[in-house]
Structure 1
Amino acid sequence: MDFSTKKQLHIAVFPWLAYGHIAPFLHVSQFLAQKGHRIYYLSTPKNISRLPVLPPNLRSNISFIPLSLPHVDGLPPGVESTSELPIQKVPFLKKAHDKLETQLAEFLRRSPQVKLIIHDFCPYWLVHVATQLGISLVFFSILSASTNAFFRSPSDMLGKTRRSAEDFTVVPVWMDYPNNIAFKLHEWASHQECEDTISDLERVETILLNCKILAVRSCYELEPEALSVLSKIHQIPVVPLGLLPPSLSGIEDEGDENWEALKKWLDSKQDKSVFYVALGSEVCLSRELMHELAYGIEKSELPFIWVVRKPPFVEAEQSVEDMIPPGFEERVSDRGLIV
């Protein structure tokens, strides 16, 4: 499947409902649109509204198709992404996401020109829909090649050789190069909290056994051994798409007073002496864990910048300041910044 072909392809793009997935899928959409292909980016209205404005030269080649997220008991009203939920409620979002099958199938039936869909790990049901409509599947995993190799071998998927949590705490035999990639037991237990009755591994197994291409967020310069393993164990084309960093075009730091103060503070520190702490838009720690993180930062005695965000699902009366231990800011004011 040659994306560089001069013939225009009509491609549907369908990411999971998490901004860490939505943004990379948009980067891929923009790249394909630059090559002249016609892109139909499908997500829920709230997630589409969060996306940056497209450059003028790409607007004619990318259409955003809103899908209304169905109601599921247990999912708070208005929630459309993982960043709005504690991890224990993510299974309800997966159930709602599965109910998008009807709307997505209807869009594809109305769009016979679409012969390719680039999708995420969650919609195992796409296999049935795509088979009916003669559409090829491209699975784009935003995870590294190493992580993909750790999770998924056809022999493991079919034979179910890993059955217990402890089985995931050792490096699998098919990763035949020096590495120490494995879960800690508590990490695997935490991961299980966001599992639906249909596990993530079951979803991906179905997809991997039926997709035409596996695209991964990686590159040969970073993970040559893992990419080689992926090609060997899946026997389908594995396409590394690069690391897909956010675009810096259009960002103007010079006029930002906050950036000026931050730059002045950074310039006062020695090179490579400051560490940066930020958990992004998806990871929301409890107040207790945030306090533990603060104590660790304090004990390091290193200069730091810490970005603190109030989880959207905590009680309204709690403030960002509640996430930081009493007296912490005063004790570290001479060597750290809290944003």
Structure 2
Amino acid sequence: MEGGSLHILMLPWFAFGHLLPFLELAKSLAGKGHRISFLSTPRNVARLPAIPPPLAPFINFIEIPLPQIEHLPENAEATVDLPSADLRPYLSKAFDTLEETLSDLIQNKQIASLDCIIFDYAAHWVPNIAVKFGVPCAFFSIFNASFFSFLGPPSALMGGAGARKKAEELTQLPPWIPFPSTIVFRSFDAPQMFNASVPDASGVSEMYRAGKSIQGCQIVLIRSCKELEPEWLQLLGHLSEKPIVPVGLLPPSIEQGQHAALEWLDKQGRGSTVYVAFGSEVKLSAAQVKEIAVGLELSGLHFVWALRAGSVPAGLVESIKEHGRGLLCMDWVPQIRILAHPSIGGFLTHAGWSSVVEGLAFGLAMVLLPMIIDQGLIARKMVEKGFGVEVPRKEDGSFTGDEIAQSLRFAMVEDEGKVLRTKAKECRNLFGDEELHDSYVSESIQHLKRLVEARLSV
């Protein structure tokens, strides 16, 4: 630690839903004069947004090629590159080879004068490396406190005391939550979450990785704030028996540049348009795409829909052009610029935490259609707080175009949705408060410095 400045190694899991929040935190730390070594693969680094020039001297990307792993497609370096979620364990297996690589980099002084490591849940082996080299480590959860509190103590995540024995248990409030809450999984999203507790081809389960990471770190950094979920942050500290340090919500900064979608939005009325996007991890089925398309048409609203080219069914492009109220974007879109545009009034989203933070930072009415992992709990949390509406689903998770249309109209135009729209607009004061969230980053730095000083004093 030179002159109060830290050298921090950051290691996110190879999914853009993790890489991007880690990068946002890296930029916030770099903006306060701390040096960041950001470790990922060449292809992942190449796909990250450019670092603002004033911060570039403080952020060094360490690019580590992945070894060829059986069953892992060539050039697959992130979950978005996998044609099927069934291949995820093989990416985890490749990711785990970084344990030896990272140890060698530190041992050989290729990463020198390291003060601490901030790591993701998948890198459950980082605490062992940290102990070996006498470096403190912090687990950074891109998930919010209610999600991890619902999952339980590390023992429950690792298959010990408190572990669920069947998926149905995830649809009930666990005994360690001492206050009323509607934040539970439903019958259609519980099985996938339960499967995350089963060891996979990488040798351990996803849940085990998270539990081991919490168990082995010195502190838990978390993308949250006391103003949003004070009771959950307190509960998580009790369950994990670790200091829980919010880094704030890391609100988005607006990108520069022009795009056809922005030009199209310039011609629409204020608050008249819904933005539709489901993130980089969700792979919609043809049936789901069809029902969403039907719902958008039935809603009568203007829309901008970001949809991967490979997910576009035959006839969809022509249909959207025919009714003339929508714009389909099949390549990269400047999501933050779109959400910030005055023509956007609502956001139909998968309820990924980053997307929810981004939408509410601009006061948008949220229409929530959760698909995987923590998204169901986030959707229920937002509904419980009155910030959004969740699209109704059948027991098997299916939904209809009518249900999409009704949810959109409720959130954006009908009188019954006025309270929701008012609350969403008020959210700008919390989710978009850059000064507040910057103060959380400053506070987290003080926690990291205390860890480093404690190590140096031994």
Do both proteins adopt the same fold according to a TM-score greater than 0.5, normalized to the shorter chain? yes
| Residues 53 and 301 of structure 1, relative CA distance in 2, 3 Å threshold | closer
In structure 1, the partner of 2:273 is: 274
The alignment partner of 2:18 has SS state of helix
| Aligned match for 1:91, one of 81, 85, 89 | 89
Report if the CA contact (8 A) 2:275-2:303 is conserved: yes
Report if the CA contact (8 A) 1:218-1:242 is conserved: yes
| Aligned match for 1:219, one of 205, 225, 228 | 225
| Residues 324 and 142 of structure 1, relative CA distance in 2, 3 Å threshold | farther
2:45 is the counterpart of 1:48? yes
Structure 1 residues not aligned, in runs of 5+:
312-319
Report if the CA contact (8 A) 2:261-2:304 is conserved: no
| Residues 72 and 218 of structure 1, relative CA distance in 2, 3 Å threshold | same
2:9 is the counterpart of 1:19? no
Which string of whole-angstrom CA distances, capped at 9 and with x for unpartnered residues, describes residues 188-240 of structure 1? 32346677341111111111111111111111121122112112222222111
Deviation at 1:338, TM superposition (A): 2.8
Report if the CA contact (8 A) 1:219-1:241 is conserved: yes
- TM-score, normalized by length of structure 1? 0.85
The alignment partner of 2:115 has SS state of strand
| Residues 275 and 212 of structure 1, relative CA distance in 2, 3 Å threshold | same
In structure 2, the partner of 1:163 is: 165
The alignment partner of 2:118 has SS state of strand
Deviates more, 1:75-84 or 1:183-192: 183-192
Provide the rounded CA distance (Å) in 2 between the counterparts of 1:112 and 1:169: 47
Q: What amino acid does structure 2 have at the position aligned with 1:128?
A: N
Deviates more, 1:104-113 or 1:78-87: 104-113
Which string of whole-angstrom CA distances, capped at 9 and with x for unpartnered residues, describes residues 251-279 of structure 1? 145xx454222221244xxx4x5332111
Which string of whole-angstrom CA distances, capped at 9 and with x for unpartnered residues, describes residues 96-152 of structure 1? 111121111111222352131100010112222222111212000111111121113
Deviates more, 1:159-168 or 1:194-203: 194-203
Provide the rounded CA distance (Å) in 2 between the counterparts of 1:323 and 1:30: 41
Deviates more, 1:24-33 or 1:180-189: 180-189
Deviation at 1:286, TM superposition (A): 2.5
Provide the rounded CA distance (Å) in 2 between the counterparts of 1:336 and 1:284: 21
Q: What amino acid does structure 2 have at the position aligned with 1:181?
A: I
2:154 is the counterpart of 1:148? no
RMSD between aligned residues: 2.5
2:306 is the counterpart of 1:307? yes
Counterparts of 1:228-267 in structure 2, within 5 Å, are 228-248=234-254, 251-253=256-258, 256-267=259-270
In structure 1, the partner of 2:187 is: 185
| Residues 161 and 23 of structure 1, relative CA distance in 2, 3 Å threshold | closer
Deviates more, 1:105-114 or 1:21-30: 105-114
Q: What amino acid does structure 1 have at the position aligned with 2:305?
A: W
Provide the rounded CA distance (Å) in 2 between the counterparts of 1:230 and 1:15: 21
Deviation at 1:302, TM superposition (A): 4.0
Report if the CA contact (8 A) 1:82-1:90 is conserved: yes
Report if the CA contact (8 A) 2:261-2:327 is conserved: no
Provide the rounded CA distance (Å) in 2 between the counterparts of 1:204 and 1:182: 19
The alignment partner of 1:156 has SS state of helix
Deviates more, 1:223-232 or 1:182-191: 182-191
Which string of whole-angstrom CA distances, capped at 9 and with x for unpartnered residues, describes residues 26-65 of structure 1? 1111222222222111000001111222223222222111
Provide the rounded CA distance (Å) in 1 between the counterparts of 2:43 and 2:275: 30
Moved over 6 A (4+): none
In structure 2, the partner of 1:315 is: none
2:322 is the counterpart of 1:338? no
| Residues 326 and 19 of structure 1, relative CA distance in 2, 3 Å threshold | closer
Deviation at 1:325, TM superposition (A): 4.9
Provide the rounded CA distance (Å) in 2 between the counterparts of 1:217 and 1:176: 23
| Residues 193 and 309 of structure 1, relative CA distance in 2, 3 Å threshold | farther
| Aligned match for 2:36, one of 22, 35, 39 | 39
In structure 1, the partner of 2:426 is: none
Report if the CA contact (8 A) 1:115-1:134 is conserved: no
| Aligned match for 2:214, one of 201, 208, 218 | 208
Q: What amino acid does structure 2 have at the position aligned with 1:178?
A: P
Report if the CA contact (8 A) 2:289-2:312 is conserved: no
In structure 1, the partner of 2:204 is: 198
Deviation at 1:323, TM superposition (A): 6.0
Provide the rounded CA distance (Å) in 1 between the counterparts of 2:34 and 2:118: 13
In structure 2, the partner of 1:102 is: 100
Provide the rounded CA distance (Å) in 1 between the counterparts of 2:194 and 2:73: 21
The alignment partner of 1:71 has SS state of coil
In structure 2, the partner of 1:314 is: none
Provide the rounded CA distance (Å) in 2 between the counterparts of 1:325 and 1:257: 19
Provide the rounded CA distance (Å) in 1 between the counterparts of 2:29 and 2:126: 22
- TM-score, normalized by length of structure 2? 0.64
In structure 2, the partner of 1:317 is: none
Deviation at 1:303, TM superposition (A): 3.9
